[in-house]
Amino acid sequence: MKNLKKLERLQQLHQRIQNENTGSPIDMAKYMNISERSIHNLIDELKILGAEICYKRTTKTYYYCNDFKIELNISLKVITEGDARNLYGGSYFFKENYFPARFLQGTKLYL
């Protein structure tokens, strides 16, 4: 869930930057209900993805200096017990052999 929340925040910030409607970092942090440091971390994430982000002091807003677009798609597919056994050898999705989600973080599933 932590990663999903981060992606949602990234998308929200992207939309505000794209519309040149962010306000100052403090204003944006209050609007998104996160810390100012988190805003800067999200901006850094966008920069890692190739965004050139500038700040207009006169209008107090971030904007893209380059033609940057991002598309975020999140999908969820429910798998049956049989599929789970085929994918993981029957150990990850069953109560007797439960592993926390953080253990599986970064694991790629090909369905």
> Is the pLDDT confidence value at 63 over 80?
yes
List, in sequence order, every beta strand (DSSP E) within the chain: 53-56, 61-64
> How much is the average pLDDT of 39-48?
93
Q: CA–CA separation, 13 vs 21, rounded Å?
A: 10
Segment 27-42 shows an average pLDDT of: 94
Does residue 28 register a pLDDT over 90?
Answer: yes
Q: Which amino acid is at 41?
A: N
* Least reliable range by pLDDT among 3-7, 20-24, 48-52, 81-85: 81-85
- Domains of the chain are 2-64 (1.10.10.10), 75-111 (no CATH)
What DSSP state is assigned to residue 71?
-
Using only the alpha carbons of the chain, give its radius of gyration: 19
Confidence class of residue 6 from pLDDT cuts 50, 70 and 90?
A: confident
pTM (global) more than 0.75: no
